[in-house]
Amino acid sequence: MVAIVERVKQALGDPYGRVCRELAVPYSSLMRWKSRLQAGAAPVQKPGPAKVEPLDVASLHMDILRLRHGRYRSLGTGELYERYRERISRRDLQKLVEDARRELRREKDALERRIEWCVPGLVWSMDDADLRPGHLHLVQDLGSRYKLRVLGDEVLANGDRVANNMRELFCRHGAPLFMKRDNGSNLNHHAVNELLDEFWVIPLNSPRYYPPYNGGIERAQLEMQRELEVRIGDEPVDSRVFRLECEVSGHEVNHKRRRSLGGQTACAALETGRPWVRLFGRRERKEVYEEIKGLAVDIAARLGEHTDVVAETAFRYAAETWMQLNKVIRVTQNKQVLPCFYQI
């Protein structure tokens, strides 16, 4: 670029400032490049201070792995740069950290179990989310990914309202066999529990402080948030508009074709599960519950502890075992189907 500017300047006889404006070259950059060339240095240098100390790559790699890596950030990167700032630029360090974080994430994803919900209509999940415009109460069928209820409001839905919504859904779609939920007080309200007992729906509570147990509803919340961002964006809306946009967004995602459903929409997939739901009347549901409870007692006895936490854990394992044995779910790891947790 310096040579081009010099040729143009000689041909036209214009000063450097005018030639730089015509060629869209920053004048200060041109002068810097010229001075470096006159000093015998490269005209363009890598950003950051010159590094003079030798870099121990192996030690740096181990220090990078010791950082607290999240999905998008790695805590401690700033402190690590201060230790290595004389040996590596901030940009190069950031690139190494991003590569390590990406590789660790791939390894973690490869080792994590993946649960595939095989029967639409039998297992539902519900949860709440705080979004920018307000609160979102979401109920989803896990087998079909169908959003049964997308309730947006200024305030969190209380227990009585959650129970009323669920009763309406049970009457419209048929009650599921299992209901997954977290430990929120409104989702575990006495009115909700009484309704589950009335319809013989088996509740499955997430372990405390472990949201991935209910990962299906977590992904559904992200999907709804993206849809709402497309529809609302940064525009401030009142509660009435927010409620309407939540309902419309739920309708939109329910009618998108999904590769995970073989090209079907969630709406169509839910219909295929209705015959399965009708197979579980009151007597069949009671039999399922008694079978799971018996398995849970056996698992808790083998664990050798008798606490509320152990009892809840044993019941979750027993329910998963029943669902695997009855082809309601398929559990895989590294694309290999896993056996049941508890061998009967």
Question: What's the whole-number average pLDDT of the chain?
Answer: 86
* pLDDT band at 47; cut points 50, 70, 90: low
180-214, pLDDT tens digit by residue? 998 889 999 999 999 999 999 999 998 876 556 67
Residue 322 has pLDDT above 90, yes or no: yes
271-285, pLDDT tens digit by residue? 999 999 999 999 999
Domain boundaries 124-278, CATH class:
alpha beta
114-117 and 123-130: which strand pairing?
unpaired
Q: 307 is written with which tokens?
A: 């606490």
**pTM (2 decimals)?**
0.68
Amino acid identity for residue 308 in this structure: D
pLDDT at res. 212:
60
* pLDDT band at 305; cut points 50, 70, 90: confident
**pLDDT greater at residue 27 or residue 167:** 167
